[in-house]
Amino acid sequence: MATNDSSVPKLPMKEIPGDYGVPFLGAMKDRYDFHYNQGTDDFFRCRMKKYESTVFRTNVPPGPFNARNSKVVVLVDAISFRILFDNSQVDKENRFEGTFMSSPSFNGGYKVCAFLDTTNSKHSVLKGLILSTLTRLHDKFILIFTNSITPMFTSLEKELSEKGTSYFNPLSDNLSFDFIFRLFCEGKNPIDTSVGTNGPKIVDKWVFFQLAPLISLGLKFIPNFLEDLVLHTFPLPYFLVKRDHQKLYNAFYNSMKDILDEAEKFGVKRDEACHNFVFLAGFNLYGDLKVFYPSLIKWIGTSGPNLHNQLVKEIRTAVKEAGGVITFSAIEKMPLVKSVVYETLRMDPPVAFQCAKARKNIIISNHDSSFLIKKDELIFGYQPLATKDPKVFKNAEDFIPDRFVGDGEKLLRYVYWSNGEETDDPTVNDKQCPGKDLIVLLGRLLVVEFFLRYDTFEIEFGKLLLGSKVTFKSITKATS
């Protein structure tokens, strides 16, 4: 047996509390609690409180008939959660979405890199191709982003002028898709391809059909039992999005010759490589930014003018010292910007769940006890609680902009949004998101670009299916 952290002293062994209820009925009850009776966050908080443990047993969605096995051991603290990153002890084959896997038809019949375990021979090849591509494109990140974000600000100001408010989410989605497409597709404008102006909507639909078993629409005029039957009981069929997905695939395939040429050097067929990059672009990068960007603006907006003034001073000073140009070295001189981005990822991780299967009997530990997880049991981490662990983070439920400044950087190892510790770098031998550093950079760039143009702003926010709904009420243009 092994432990998830060899530096943790031995703690008293304890049986994992919780239960799965009556077969089938227990899974259905827990599914209704998750979607309708409690909601996602309270579902885990209530069980943590009930069992007085951050490690417990329960069923998780989708259950029957989307998932063969809904029985899991849940981890909701920062210490036990790390077992999910130890690939010598856990298997993540087909576990990208949780206890179920959407049909490979959504990816051209291929099992893309995200669904492969590290022991699968294809994993290192495909992830190696992705990491190599991102490294090769690194010098283009800032220039492409700067060009992509300008139309967003134009639309933001126009909407505020004409309507008095501006809904940020669609502007953010357009920015994200435009940047990602141009990055992988040799600078080509997605509007000039088969997706036209509908790129974000096509990706939204394609992703929704895959994640539907974990989503509740929250529509009052649709009875819960009907929504549950349609969304959570059986997989949504691919043919309903096939036409749009084909447009998306064709747009990438016809526009990323250099990447596909490189893929062949890695021994990967052009078709398979394209489906992997469509998944990386649409599901991983665009999907993360769809949640992350509105959340970032939400937390900065609600923090008020004091934080805005600090960010203005830090950003404009660093850019001025760099000759008035945004550079990588200038960004590195903005510790508060970096901390704000990491704190957002801690508070609202774009991916809430991590799932794996135990390769063998494992002893894990939280802050108080040790637990035995048996071989082949499913382990399920709920990240929004793990990264708000009060025994690791002071005032863990509060957004503290400078939490990771100075000595606070030591806490970055407990930021897990990328399926790994923030202090680690993704490699071909792990399951950490290959776009981890790019997402962080894009967060920092959004903040920098924003406060080069504006001094302060006001927003209002609410909830969406995935993430936050953010509406600008006012912006104050830069005065210095």
96-124 pLDDT per residue, tens: 999 999 999 999 999 999 999 999 999 99
| Residues 101, 46, 40: CA angle, nearest 5 degrees | 35
Taking residue 369's Cβ as centre, other Cβ atoms within 10 Å add up to 17
Residue 65 DSSP one-character state: T
To the nearest whole number, what is the mean pLDDT of the chain?
A: 96
DSSP 345-414: HHHS-S--EEEEEESS-EEEE-SS-EEEE-TT-EEEEEHHHHTT-TTTSTTTTS--TTTTSGGGGGGGGG
pLDDT of 289 higher than 50? yes
Q: 40, 61 in Cβ contact below 8 A?
A: no
pLDDT of 352 higher than 80? yes
What pLDDT does 376 receive?
98
Could you report the per-residue pLDDT of 255-281, keeping only the tens digit for each?
999 999 999 999 999 999 999 999 999
Could you give the CA distance from residue 424 to residue 176 in angstroms, rounded to a whole number?
25
pLDDT of 216 higher than 70? yes
Q: What is the share, in percent, of the chain residues with pLDDT greater than 90? A: 96
What pLDDT does 279 receive?
99
- Per-residue confidence at 345, pLDDT binned at 50, 70, 90? very high
- Per-residue confidence at 9, pLDDT binned at 50, 70, 90? very low
DSSP 137-189: HGGGHHHHHHHHHHHHHHHHHHHHHHHS-EEHHHHHHHHHHHHHHHHHTTT--
What pLDDT does 3 receive?
44
Buried b (16+ CB within 10 A) or exposed e, 53-68: bbbbbbbbbbbbebbe
433 is in an annotated binding site: yes
143 Cβ partners below 8 Å, 6+ apart? none
What pLDDT does 4 receive?
52
* Tokens read off for 170: 């669609």
pLDDT of 231 higher than 80? yes
Q: 270-279 vs 257-265: helix axis angle to the nearest 10?
A: 120
52 Cβ partners below 8 Å, 6+ apart? 17
Q: ω before 234 within 30° of 0 (cis)? A: no
Could you give the CA distance from residue 105 to residue 103 in angstroms, rounded to a whole number?
5
Q: What is the mean pLDDT of residues 159-183?
A: 98
Could you give the CA distance from residue 256 to residue 383 in angstroms, rounded to a whole number?
34
pLDDT of 6 higher than 70? no
Could you report the per-residue pLDDT of 370-412, keeping only the tens digit for each?
999 999 999 999 999 999 999 999 999 999 999 999 999 999 9
pLDDT of 178 higher than 70? yes
- Per-residue confidence at 220, pLDDT binned at 50, 70, 90? confident
- Per-residue confidence at 466, pLDDT binned at 50, 70, 90? confident
Catalogue all structural domains in the chain, each as residue range(s) with its CATH number.
Answer: 25-477 (1.10.630.10)
Could you give the CA distance from residue 472 to residue 477 in angstroms, rounded to a whole number?
14
Q: What is the mean pLDDT of residues 143-172?
A: 98
Q: What is the mean pLDDT of residues 226-250?
A: 97
Numbers of helices and strands, H then E, in the chain: 16, 10
What pLDDT does 82 receive?
98
